[in-house]
Amino acid sequence: DSGVTQTPKHLITATGQRVTLRCSPRSGDLSVYWYQQSLDQGLQFLIQYYNGEERAKGNILERFSAQQFPDLHSELNLSSLELGDSALYFCASSALPGPPYEQYFGPGTRLTVT
Amino acid sequence: AQSVTQLGSHVSVSEGALVLLRCNYSSSVPPYLFWYVQYPNQGLQLLLKYTSAATLVKGINGFEAEFKKSETSFHLTKPSAHMSDAAEYFCAVSDRSPTSGYALNFGKGTSLLVTP
pLDDT digits (tens, 9 = 90+) for B53-106: 788 999 999 999 999 999 999 999 999 999 999 999 999 998 777 777 788 999
User: Å from B81 to nearest chain A CA?
Assistant: 24
Hey, which bits of B59-109 come out as E strands?
64-68, 73-78, 87-94, 104-106
Rounded average pLDDT over B9-21: 97
In angstroms, the CA A1 to CA A95 distance is 17
Q: Which residue has the higher pLDDT, B68 or B27?
A: B68
Question: What confidence score (pLDDT) does residue A55 get?
Answer: 92
pLDDT, tens digit (0-9, with 9 covering 90-100), for B59-71:
999 999 999 999 9
Lowest mean pLDDT among A14-28, A79-93, B35-49: B35-49
In angstroms, the CA A4 to CA A30 distance is 12
pLDDT, tens digit (0-9, with 9 covering 90-100), for B31-42:
889 999 999 888
Question: What confidence score (pLDDT) does residue A97 get?
Answer: 77
User: Å from A1 to nearest chain B CA?
Assistant: 9
Chain B residues with CB-CB distance to A100 below 8 A? 49, 51
SS3 state of residue B69: helix
CB-CB under 8 Å, B101 with A48:
yes
Question: What confidence score (pLDDT) does residue B101 get?
Answer: 79
pLDDT reading at B5 higher than 80: yes
